[in-house]
Structure 1
Amino acid sequence: MHKLYFIVLFLFAFGNCSVFSQKKTEEVLIAKDTLKSKDIDPLTPAKAAFYSAILPGLGQAYNKKYWKIPIVYGAIGVSLYYYIDSSQKYHQYRDAYKRRLEGYTDDEFSYYNDEQLISAQKFYQRNKDFSALFVVGFYVLNIVDANVDAALIQFNVNENLSVKPDVYINDVTYRANFGLTFNYNF
């Protein structure tokens, strides 16, 4: 009898025996998301704008829109070319007019009178001003494009989000019903 008490006491003390204890096993099922969503970084548009402000086209490279870089440099470069060209021609006509006022007539524009020289100066001054405005405008447009593109890149546009017209048959009257279906697939 002592042996029986000793065995029962031993089994209760250690409790790992399956005869006297039941082990509860709970399975917890965790549903994994099948869609991989990108984390949204709210500073991405600001970074892209900052990079474009430092070096035009760098924000477009940050957004991985490499095809826009030649457009940015082409627009700014052409405007800058016309600014420099108009500035040089303005200075040529201005210097010729100044020499005329001093009494010299041996300038390269000897076939122009004074009023034509003044008119040419005004023309090239206006072109120079417009070209400078275009350089600044394309520079700012480059920054805005990088910022907006970085903001729009974060929107979720995939086939799981859809709005499409739908035609379904009514079960009672067997008539066609028309409507819009808003779907979000998991």
Structure 2
Amino acid sequence: MICTVSIKAFSQKDSTAVKGVKVKGKIEVTDDFYNPLSPSKAAFYSAIFPGMGQIYNKKYWKAPIVWGAMGTSIYFYLDNNSEYKRFRRAFKQRKAGLQDEFTLDDGSQLISEDGLVNAQNILRQNRDLSLLATIVLYTLQIVEASVNAHLMQFNTNDNLSFKPVIIQDPSMVYAPTLGMSFKLTF
């Protein structure tokens, strides 16, 4: 009983509950500041065409970075894939007893069979890593567009501040106590 009464005695008054307020006319809400669909639109546009979500967020300088990163990883994927197919075709021709591009007219070989196998393995690994990099970059640019759209709606005025401070405790002269100060002014 004492705990219940003491909790009720120290509780704060609800500042949102206002009694007796009447509104005449219609209340108009403007979506200038907060648009809950903005992050999903940015993510959707980035999923359709990489970099378009950044353009939607009006961060135009990020779009060429996205295009350059995606283009580089796609270039390396295509280059490694074509080289892999080249060495694979030569290996298959050599196994079939035909002359491949790494065998000279006199029958001498520029690359051994083991060299062809090793080249295939390395190029296949590089191709797969390039594909993985492309997928990761594609996903990251979608996430970046969505997060950026969320953060654009975040209130960052000077009335909200966060400042870590060292608070001296008078009872413990030798050991300073670390604390944080959170200031919100209206």
TM class, shorter-length: 0.5 to 0.7
TM-score where L is the length of structure 1 = 0.68
Question: Residue 89 and residue 163 in structure 1: after superposition, are their counterparts in 2 closer, same or farther (change >3 A)?
Answer: closer
Q: Deviations over 1:85-139 (max 9, x none)?
A: 0001001100101110111234235311111101100110110000001111100
Q: Deviations over 1:129-173 (max 9, x none)?
A: 00001111100001000001101111100112234589xxxxxxx
C-alpha distance in structure 2 between counterparts of 1:94 and 1:180, whole Å:
63
C-alpha distance in structure 2 between counterparts of 1:121 and 1:181, whole Å:
60
TM-score where L is the length of structure 2 = 0.68
Which residue is 1:56 aligned to? 50
Which residue is 1:123 aligned to? 122
Which residue is 1:9 aligned to? none
What's the CA shift for 1:67? 1.1
What's the CA shift for 1:70? 1.2
Runs of at least 4 residues of structure 1 off by over 3 A? 163-166, 179-186
Which residue is 1:33 aligned to? none
Q: Aligned match of 1:108 in 94, 102, 113?
A: 102
Percent identity over the alignment?
Answer: 48
Q: What secondary structure sits across from 1:65 in the alignment?
A: coil
Question: Residue 45 and residue 112 in structure 1: after superposition, are their counterparts in 2 closer, same or farther (change >3 A)?
Answer: same
Q: RMSD in angstroms over aligned alpha carbons?
A: 2.3
C-alpha distance in structure 2 between counterparts of 1:180 and 1:88, whole Å:
58
Which residue is 1:172 aligned to? none
Q: Is the 8 A contact 2:74 2:134 kept in 1?
A: yes
2:91 counterpart of 1:97: yes
Q: What secondary structure sits across from 2:131 in the alignment?
A: helix
Mapping 1:2-41, distance limit 5 Å: 38-41=32-35
Unpaired runs of at least 5, structure 1:
1-36, 167-178
C-alpha distance in structure 2 between counterparts of 1:113 and 1:124, whole Å:
16
Which residue is 1:146 aligned to? 145
C-alpha distance in structure 2 between counterparts of 1:64 and 1:84, whole Å:
32
State the aligned residue count.
139
Partner amino acid, structure 1, of 2:42: A
Question: Residue 41 and residue 98 in structure 1: after superposition, are their counterparts in 2 closer, same or farther (change >3 A)?
Answer: same
